[in-house]
Amino acid sequence: MKPTTLTNKNARKFPFVDYHYQTSTLGNFTGRCATSSKSKSLRDISRDYFDKESNYDFLSDAAVFGTLIATAAVPIVLGVNAVIELCRALPF
């Protein structure tokens, strides 16, 4: 048996659209940068970050990076060693 839906047969299927909608205008907006406020540039923000905050995390980041490099280097060295031994075992 099919389930019956509890909908009103006289209900509209699409939402009502207001066709008389008008957007608001931005009076004197020109799209230029605001030069009256003293804002920092991206260079100043990054310089402040590297001067103050990056020095605290450098040693821990360097240790994690070294660990990742060592972990990645071990399988590569073992793979190269296996290829060398395979080349020695094959008769040419």
Is the pLDDT at 10 greater than 70? The verdict is: no
Host domain of residue 70: 42-89
Q: How far is CA 14 from CA 5, 17, 18, 77, in A?
A: 18, 9, 12, 65
Structural domain includes residue 69: yes
Structural domain includes residue 52: yes
Is the pLDDT at 66 greater than 90? The verdict is: yes
Give the number of domains in the chain. Answer: 1
Q: Please give the model's pTM, rounded to 2 decimal places.
A: 0.39
Q: What is the DSSP letter of 5?
A: P
Structural domain includes residue 20: no
